[in-house]
Amino acid sequence: MPYVAMKVYWSWGGTVGKPEGMDIADEFVKNGAPAVLVWMERHGIDFTVLLVALGLTLLAALNRP
């Protein structure tokens, strides 16, 4: 949960724990990430948080009788 909280905080514009002046969306563009990931990051949605949520949902579904 701390990882998810940190990533959500960063995607909402938080700067604690992030290098000075770093913009994650700009880093995505520089590294050639797909446009949908850049769009999500610019709108406050971090794809790794979505993947964690998907994994937790799958874990809960597989543990249910």
Q: Are 51 and 59 in contact (CB under 8 A)?
A: no
At 34 the pLDDT is 92
Write the pLDDT tens digit of every residue in 4-33.
788 778 777 777 877 777 778 888 899 999
At 32 the pLDDT is 93
Residue 6, classified by CB atoms within 10 Å of its CB into exposed (0-12), middle (13-18) or buried (19+), is middle
